[in-house]
Amino acid sequence: MDRAVKVIREDKRLALVEVWGHKLGGIYADGKLSGGKWRKWLEDLNEADCLVGDWNTHNQAWDPLTQDDTRVKDMEEWIVEKGFEIGREYDGPTYERIVNGRRQQSGIDLFISRGSKNWQKVKLDKFLSDH
């Protein structure tokens, strides 16, 4: 088996590599993507086995302290349709910032994969963003 890392695709929102026959992606889901552009961008991720990064999408399914945003329905449908699973149970926010003197927190950094429930907690912690 070839142990080399092969870069499949790289742009400002995605780095997709193949390692040991698995396609791994690091993503940044720009908050400006919406509607058809958002859905198209999600469809472009279909070849990945797992994706980790800043999804910039709020959903009570992975962050019970937030309100669902406008992109979440498309993302939920895409996750189910493509057989992905979220590999993170809520254990606190992954992002925090101060806006107008108020602290805002959210869980926008996610690890998703086909079969993510098989990953061990230790491995998941290494994949999560540093927000």
Number of domains in the chain: 1
Q: What is residue 126's predicted lDDT score, i.e. its pLDDT?
A: 47
Domain range for 12 is: 6-127
Q: Is residue 45 part of a domain?
A: yes
Token pair, residue 65, equals 């302290």
Cβ burial of 36 (10 Å; 0-12, 13-18, 19+) is: exposed
Confidence of residue 41 (pLDDT cuts 50, 70, 90): very high
pTM of the predicted structure, to 2 decimals: 0.75
Q: Is residue 27 part of a domain?
A: yes
Q: Is residue 1 part of a domain?
A: no
Contact 111, 127 (CB under 8 A): yes
Q: What is residue 1's predicted lDDT score, i.e. its pLDDT?
A: 53
* Total Cβ atoms within 10 A of residue 86: 17
User: Domain of 75: which CATH number?
Assistant: 3.60.10.10
Q: Is residue 47 part of a domain?
A: yes
The percentage of residues in the chain with a pLDDT greater than 70, rounded to a whole number, is: 83
